Amino acid sequence: MNIRWIDILGKDEITITESKTGKVRSITVNESLKEVLKYSSTKYSLTGRFKIENYLFANRKDQKFTIQYANRLLKSALKTYGIKIQNASTHTLRKTFGKRVWEMDGQSERSLVYLSQIFNHSNVGITRSEIKPCFSEFVGLSWFSLSFTYDFQGVMFVTDFHITWRKI
């Protein structure tokens, strides 16, 4: 979670290097996310702690989130809203995202190709094996619309292993 405000604020695209594979890719930043980032940075500036070089996903000490910390936040949010998911993690959200895309596109091979690209898998078979086993695991996380794969209407976005958000 190495994204800094300077990397994304006011940008049309963000380039990330995935930690596990070292693969580089670009992700389009849609207008809704740009608005949320602008609003959030303005509110954050009012605290007197905002610096453009700070991490986007940071704790109260302005240190970047660890995956473990993000998982604790996710589990806390799920508990707060009464959503019961066995072994919940940020990877659970990634798999749920893939499952929903696949289902909403009629379980098509086309959706597996799109997801394979989004997940940066080397082949569609890896994507298929990641998505299909998860069918009975998750309920209630249907927030995705397939109209444009990266066109999210919120603060969430996908990185290699995680769907993450920042609370200010």
DSSP of 23-83, one letter per residue? -EEEEE--HHHHHHHHHHHHHHHTTT---TTSBSSB-TTSPBPPHHHHHHHHHHHHHHTT-
Is 50 exceeded by the pLDDT of residue 167? no
- Residue 163 corresponds to which tokens in the numbers above? 């769907």
The reported pLDDT for the residue numbered 49 is: 85
pTM over 0.85: no
The reported pLDDT for the residue numbered 133 is: 58
For the chain, the average pLDDT equals: 79
The reported pLDDT for the residue numbered 41 is: 92
Lowest mean pLDDT across 47-51, 115-119, 141-145: 141-145
The reported pLDDT for the residue numbered 149 is: 42
The pLDDT tens digits for 54-113 are 999 888 888 898 889 999 999 999 999 998 888 889 888 888 899 999 999 999 999 999
Return the percentage of the chain with pLDDT > 90, whole number.
41
The answer to whether the beta carbons of residues 116 and 124 sit under 8 Å apart is: yes
The reported pLDDT for the residue numbered 24 is: 85
Question: Token pair 């240190």 is at which residue?
Answer: 63
**Radius of gyration (C-alpha) of the chain in whole angstroms:** 16
The reported pLDDT for the residue numbered 61 is: 86
The reported pLDDT for the residue numbered 60 is: 82
